[in-house]
A and B are shown apart, each in its own frame.
Chain A
């Protein structure tokens, strides 16, 4: 796909940061993760910028239940993985 995406149709103020992160992730997924290089995550700075914007936006829109839903999911994930793995969870 094109590296640049038309975010003008989006209503989210985080769309440019989201696109930057998703482009980075898609590259990492296809070129590294799918080729057996799953020792470390990349795109961390893109993720942090996007995530900060998104948290603010969801709060403003009273959509923080998304974040609650996330809490539920990630806590099951942690249970599933056991203690050791959970430390890498939050960046």
Chain B
């Protein structure tokens, strides 16, 4: 039982600005109101490899994910922890993020991959974002009989949240654009 969803979005902002916005996505108080399911984002590890211009980052993301009562009953809480690994290749201008849950792995595995690349039609002005979400419910889990429902709920939540995420990204990009033109004046 695997469900996969792909989404694509074009930001009319250059890659450098969009990836800068991506790092700020969870931090701003106004964004925190919109992305209220994100409770904590901590940086666990960071590695810069100067010869290749690659920057590796691992972050811990704590998410509030209220499920139906029976899920809470089995799981005992409605907080779930994810680990996000990011590689930014400054030379080839690509950013790849992979997020996986480390809580509830007995029941469900969620993997979200996001890529930011310069848009082929306008590489210096626009950025293309490709997102793939895979949700897999463990067939022998205690939740197997309810798996369909959980899977559906999970998927709906993910799609809602990625729409919110885009909204936040667009706003931060605009902010950064204004900031950089302000500095340029």
A-side residues, CB < 8 A to B, are 1-2, 5-6, 9-12, 14, 18-19, 21-22, 25-26, 29-30, 33-34, 36, 38-41, 47, 50, 54, 63, 65-67, 69-70, 73-74, 77, 81, 85, 88-89
Contact = CB atoms under 8 A, between A and B. Distances in A.
Contact of B44 (A9, A33, A40, A70): A70
Interface stretch (B16-24, B126-134, B147-155): B16-24
Contacts of A63: 60, 81
Interface of B: 16, 19-20, 23-24, 27-29, 32, 39-40, 42-56, 58, 60, 81, 83, 85, 88, 90, 102, 172, 175-176
A33 B100 CA distance: 26
A47 B45 CA distance: 10
Nearest to A8: B29
27 contacts: A1-B27, A2-B28, A5-B27, A6-B29, A9-B32, A10-B40, A14-B42, A22-B23, A25-B43, A29-B19, A33-B55, A34-B16, A34-B19, A38-B48, A38-B50, A38-B53, A41-B48, A66-B60, A66-B83, A66-B102, A69-B44, A69-B102, A70-B58, A73-B58, A77-B47, A85-B49, A85-B52
A67 B45 CA distance: 9
Contacts of A50: 43
A-B complex: 5 closest residue pairs judged by Cβ atoms: A34-B16, A70-B44, A30-B20, A6-B29, A1-B28
A20 B180 CA distance: 21
Indicate the member of B16, B27, B39, B102 with the most A CB atoms within 10 Å.
Answer: B27
B27 A88 contact: no
Contacts of B29: 2, 5-6
